[in-house]
Amino acid sequence: MDNLIIEATRYTPQISFLADKNTLEIRGETYPENTAEFYSPVFTWLEEYLNQLTDQTVVVNMEIIYFNSSSSKVLMDLFDKFEEAVEKGKEISVNWFYDKDDESALEYGEEFQEDLEILKLNLIQKDRQ
């Protein structure tokens, strides 16, 4: 299937969902004016992608500098989708990168983790570039 690439804007992140490499990346800041509208194609793509997946290992990299409250809900929904897929036996590894200079960033990752049952988030500290 086709890759999904959405370039970053001032308030939406870079989305690189590469079906050919089984690598899904979200990087940047997320506070869209209309969150549901922005993420709708992302979820549509993801659903199709997860359905056609067989035994490949998927790596998800999330490096989100800032997310607003409605994006927080979207991220939770994304993790829920990954968790569902893992329950169905898919191999998905999720990396949550956080900035060491932002004391809240690790906490955000931990809070998502607390609300997931089987999906494990790898919380990885990243030095600021």
Partner 1 sequence: MNIKNKMLKSLFQLNKDFHQRGVFLNLSGPLSQNLMVEMGGLMKRKMELAGSDASVIRKAFSILVELNQNIIHYSAEKEPNSNQNEELKDSGCGIISVGCEGDHYFLLSGNMIDQGNVEKLTKRLISLQTMDKEELKKQYREQRKKGPDEDSKGAGLGLIEMARKVNKPLEFKINKINDTHSFFILKTII
Q: Which stretch binds partner 1 (CB under 8 A): 42-50, 55-63, 85-93, 109-117?
A: 109-117
* Distance in Å, CB of 2 to partner 1, minimum: 28
Least distance from C-beta 93 to partner 1, angstroms? 23
Direct distance between the N- and C-terminal alpha carbons of the chain, in angstroms, rounded to an integer: 33
Among 11, 18, 50, 113, contact with partner 1 (rule: CB under 8 A): 11
Q: For 40-95, give the DSSP string.
A: HHHHHHHHHHHHH--S-EEEEEEEEEEE-HHHHHHHHHHHHHHHHHHHTT-EEEEE
Q: Show contacts with partner 1 in window 42-61 (CB under 8 A).
A: none
Please, which residues bridge with residue 25 across strands?
Answer: 16, 61
Minimum CB separation of residue 39 from partner 1 in Å reads 11
Smallest gap from residue 126 Cβ to partner 1 (A): 16
How far, in Å, CA of 81 to CA of 68, rounded? 20
**In which element (H, E) is residue 36 found?**
helix 35-52
CA dihedral 106, 14, 76, 124 (to 10 degrees): -30
Per-residue x/- marks for partner 1, 65-104, CB under 8 A?
A: -x-xxx-xxx-x------------------------xxxx
Give the residues lining the site for partner 1 (CB under 8 A): 10-11, 31, 33, 35, 66, 68-70, 72-74, 76, 101-104, 111, 114-115
